[in-house]
Chains A and B, each alone.
Chain A
């Protein structure tokens, strides 16, 4: 099969594909081509996240009384962090009607919109992307070429994230043990990254480490009588850092929090890079509520998808913050409706319809 001809066909098709598809045919070697193009994030999501963050931050500075994400609203009409509500009810051994009522709203949102909180509200993922930019670790979409054992050349598109040291070690072990299979393409970060993300999204058990952390945080709150997880919650730490700054300038209160809140936040989001998928009990709670969700799941038009044209394209699963493959992943309820797959698909084959 002549993949170059296939790719040339693709160039004329969707606009988003051109940048990469044009590079791919002109390459002659097996190495990854140039630096690739950066992963795009939907503009509307960035605007929503930025606006929300700004409203809360300005509210903190001016003392609007709107609150932070832990509770946001006016007087008794307010959102309440569902995890915080559960924790404090367990800690005080007391039912709070207002919190219970809002918990029902959260469940309804989970059923209707899934884990929408994780990519449209939570400040932690965008903060980590900012840290990534500072550390020059932004993922890019790259094209590569690999020759299989039988001599057939496969073009691949994948998202290359700079790997953590542990991942690199694991990869080195994996690549050296199966060096025969991965002949030419192996060694380039793009090829390895695609195999990592492929492994990660293979199959998911019903529960994972986040749910265990969720159980631990509820148990800890019940035993020790206060919402323990709030102390280390990245969302809380984000706004605590702002509050500490406001108090430094507003009321001349100098405290260790000024250093320790941002420090812990950065540690959680950089050292524990897998915070969202491994540890976040908030995400765990949302994923439980999102179990029945069916709406706004990414739909792949297989006839447009590059995979149907013999190209090993892993862009959609590579950009997914939840490590999902929209081509029918078993854990599709984890989808946070971020639209990253739809925006980055080189063939424009992915949509997020109502059903």
Chain B
């Protein structure tokens, strides 16, 4: 009977193990620093639980009938690579292809697998999760995130020489009556009613109407000290996309 492990293979193995330890530490402390909490599928709001239990199997993304779940890439931090996040922007092309009901959202947001509002539907992403990284979720009292109006991009605010419109798309889209029109004819989110389903962000037409406000315009106005623009620029910097008139933000747990 020879030695339990030869010196040569012990060295090779130790090198591999050391690389894995370095990778783990690096992912946890060096490259993980994404300044924002990611928007997770229902039940994945506990970031610690999700990252520790998720085995990157992609089943929740595939199971989502609304196509709202996306697999994170390296931009979202090494710690989050291939974990799921929700994206309420993704199927705009698919949504508008072959239809002229441009402001009807049938996919691209979370309907909690319960389109009829019966209140007891099984959520397919949670059912598909093999390790319980996505925990049980009750949309009546928990939320994916909270919708927040961005006054720079919401077309009911006068901005960059444009006069306000009377757009009601997000208000009409919301199934939870969480957005109301206030006395100034501007939408207002009632945070307690919002569960972050993302339909409002999905239907928001700001991308078309405020297409002329790009990063340079935001930076210019932000440098001039306009607070709304500074907030929009901060959104752009953290999420990497131009905000819409209404955006779901991950609520700090």
Contacts and interface: CB of A to CB of B under 8 A. Distances in A.
A102 to B, nearest CB: 8
Contact of B128 (A75, A232, A236, A279): A75
B93 A279 contact: no
Contacts, number: 217
A184 to B, nearest CB: 32
Nearest to B125: A65
A67 interface: yes
Contact of A67 (B58, B67, B74, B91): B58
Judged by DSSP, the binding face of B is helix
Given A98-B130, A243-B58, A216 B16 contact: yes
Interface stretch (B77-85, B185-193, B213-221): B77-85
The interface centre, meaning the residue of A215, A231, A244 with most chain B CB atoms within 10 A of its CB, is A231
A260 B17 contact: no
Interface in B46-95: 48-49, 51-59, 61-64, 67, 70-71, 73-75, 78-79, 81-82, 87, 90-91, 93-94
B27 interface: yes
A301 B16 CA distance: 40
Interface in A217-260: 217, 219-221, 223-232, 236, 239-240, 243-244, 247, 250-253, 255-258, 260
Interface string B10-40: 1111101110110111011000000000000
Interface string A55-85: 0000110011111101111011010110011
Interface size class of A (residues with CB under 8 A): 35 or more
A220 B21 contact: yes
B161 interface: no
A interface majority secondary structure: helix
Interface of B: 2-6, 9-14, 16-18, 20-21, 23-25, 27-28, 48-49, 51-59, 61-64, 67, 70-71, 73-75, 78-79, 81-82, 87, 90-91, 93-94, 124, 127-128, 130-133
Contacts of B54: 88, 226-227
